[in-house]
Structure 1
């Protein structure tokens, strides 16, 4: 997938007025996500993303502990200038829903197994019972 296509989908999903804003959200969210998924699943997701964003996922921010879904949103807000928890939730949803589409259902299921409960909502998917 080309960076422009990925970014255009994030921009549309997040209703960002500029590609720069979509790019900023994608970089922060994928860097945080990369700190919380590991191994084969992280590598597989990276392989399905454009190189620019794959490298961000593979070279994540450091996490000292797993963040539950709410703390993930708050961490996103802390990294995006002027963001609130509400706008960060929007950013996370825009980026992760596009990443979920790229991942496909099997990889998404395996990624969600590595993450605390409620991340399925951040990816825009409800995990079946």
Structure 2
């Protein structure tokens, strides 16, 4: 998984890719609950699963953009860098999750996450 993130994000070192993975998975761990959290952890490599499940889910769910802003604030990084990190890590997460689990995850999370995972944001017509 780390090599996929390094490749997708064009990180110069494994350490930079690892920092991105830890940051984004800890943030996702604060947002994801229930069976989707358990099922995703079971499909991720052990270290990644541990980073996801070590976090206590937050009582307030963040939209996709608020998620990026929260991560940026926690690390004093730019929004652009944090958005890049998030997309790079979520691409690897999506590959491990598979399309069915990813769809379930996206149904649980607020709007804005589909784009972060590289999917179109689908909304229901009124």
**TM-score normalised over the length of structure 2:** 0.91
Is the counterpart of residue 19 in structure 1 residue 49 in structure 2? no
- The Cα RMSD (Å) is 1.4
CA gap of 1:40–1:61, structure 2 versus 1, over 3 A, is: closer
Looking at structure 2, the residues matched to 17 and 61 of structure 1 have their Cα atoms a distance apart, in angstroms, of 31
Tell me by how many angstroms 1:128 deviates. Answer: 4.7
Structure 1 residues 57-66 or 116-125, which shifts more? 57-66
3-state SS of 1:35 partner: helix
**What corresponds to 1:3 in structure 2?**
none
Gaps of 5+ in 1: 1-5
Moved over 6 A (4+): none
Tell me by how many angstroms 1:97 deviates. Answer: 1.0
**What corresponds to 2:118 in structure 1?**
124
Partners of 1:32 and 1:61 within 8 A in 2: no
Gaps of 5+ in 2: none
**What corresponds to 2:96 in structure 1?**
102
CA gap of 1:42–1:62, structure 2 versus 1, over 3 A, is: closer
